[in-house]
Amino acid sequence: MPLDIVVGAQWGDEGKGRVVDLLSRGADITARYNGGDNAGHTVTIGDRIYKLHLIPSGFIHPRTIGILGNGMVINPQTLVQEMEMLRQAGVKVTADRLSIADAASLITPAHRLMDAAQEAALQGSQIGTTGRGIGPAYVDKVSRRGMRIGEMLDLASFKDRLDEHLSSIDLELRSRYQHPGLDRQEISRVMLENAAILQPYIRRVGPIVRQALMGKQVVLAEAAQGTLLDLEQGTYPFVTSSCTTAAGVFSGLGIGITPARCVVGVTKAFQTRVGAGPFPTEVTGDGAIALRGTGSNPWDEYGTTTGRPRRVGWLDLPLLRYAVEINGITELFLTKLDVLSGFDEIPICTAYRVNGREVSLLDTTADARSLGLAEPIYTSLPGWEEDLRPMRDYNQFPETARGYVAFIEKACGVPVRRISVGPERNAVVEKAGV
What's the pLDDT score for residue 302? Answer: 80
**pLDDT interval class at 388 (50, 70, 90):** very high
User: Angle at the Cα of 20 (from 18 to 25), degrees rounded to 5?
Assistant: 105
Q: Of 161, 137, 110, which is closest to residue 37 (Cα–Cα)?
A: 137
Least confident of 90-94, 214-218, 251-255, 352-356: 352-356
Mean pLDDT of 342-367: 84
* CA dist., res. 356 & res. 373, Å (int): 11
Mean pLDDT of 62-82: 95
Q: Give domain 105-198's CATH architecture.
A: Orthogonal Bundle (1.10)
CB contact at 8 A, 299 and 292? no
Chain CA centroid to CA 299, Å:
16
Helical pair 184-198 and 109-121, crossing angle rounded to 10 deg: 130
- Fold match between 3-102+202-263 and 268-430? no
**pLDDT interval class at 371 (50, 70, 90):** confident
Chain CA centroid to CA 404, Å:
25
**pLDDT interval class at 359 (50, 70, 90):** confident
Region of 17 please: left (phi>0), alpha (psi -120 to 50) or beta.
alpha
* CA dist., res. 281 & res. 271, Å (int): 8
Task: Could you please state the CATH topology (level 3) that the domain comprising 3-102+202-263 is classified under.
Answer: Adenylosuccinate Synthetase; Chain A, domain 1 (3.40.440)
Is residue 123 scored above 90 in pLDDT?
no
Higher pLDDT, 293 or 322: 322
Higher pLDDT, 359 or 363: 359
Could you give the residue ranges of the DSSP H alpha helices within 293-340? Answer: 317-327
Task: Could you please state the CATH topology (level 3) that the domain comprising 268-430 is classified under.
Answer: Adenylosuccinate Synthetase; Chain A, domain 3 (3.90.170)
41 among known catalytic residues: yes
Burial call 35-49: b when 16+ CB within 10 Å, e when fewer: bbbbbbbbbbeeeee
Q: In the chain, what are the domain boundaries?
A: 3-102+202-263, 105-198, 268-430
111 among known catalytic residues: no
The predicted-structure confidence for 6-29, as pLDDT tens digits, reads as follows 999 999 889 888 899 899 998 999
User: Angle at the Cα of 186 (from 183 to 187), degrees rounded to 5?
Assistant: 80
Higher pLDDT, 114 or 155: 155
What's the pLDDT score for residue 429? Answer: 96
The predicted-structure confidence for 37-50, as pLDDT tens digits, reads as follows 977 777 777 677 87
Residue 324 has phi, psi (to 5 degrees) of: -60, -45
What's the pLDDT score for residue 299? Answer: 67
At position 343, the amino acid (one-letter code) is F
Mean pLDDT of 347-369: 81
Q: Of 194, 256, 176, 171, which is closest to residue 219 (Cα–Cα)?
A: 256
Percentage of the chain lying above the pLDDT 90 cut: 65
Which residue in 4, 21, 37, 41 is the catalytic one? Answer: 41
What's the pLDDT score for residue 96? Answer: 96
How would you classify the pairing of strands 311-313 and 416-420? unpaired
**pLDDT interval class at 295 (50, 70, 90):** low
Which residue in 4, 13, 230, 338 is the catalytic one? Answer: 13
* CA dist., res. 244 & res. 35, Å (int): 8
**pLDDT interval class at 385 (50, 70, 90):** very high
The predicted-structure confidence for 314-343, as pLDDT tens digits, reads as follows 999 999 999 999 999 999 999 999 999 999
Mean pLDDT of 270-285: 91
Mean pLDDT of 255-263: 92
* CA dist., res. 311 & res. 300, Å (int): 12
Is residue 400 scored above 90 in pLDDT?
yes
Could you write out the DSSP letters of every residue in 75-117?
Answer: -HHHHHHHHHHHHHTT----TTTEEEETTSEEP-HHHHHHHHH
CB contact at 8 A, 77 and 152? no
Is residue 433 scored above 60 in pLDDT?
no
What's the pLDDT score for residue 129? Answer: 66
Mean pLDDT of 177-197: 91
Is residue 384 scored above 80 in pLDDT?
yes
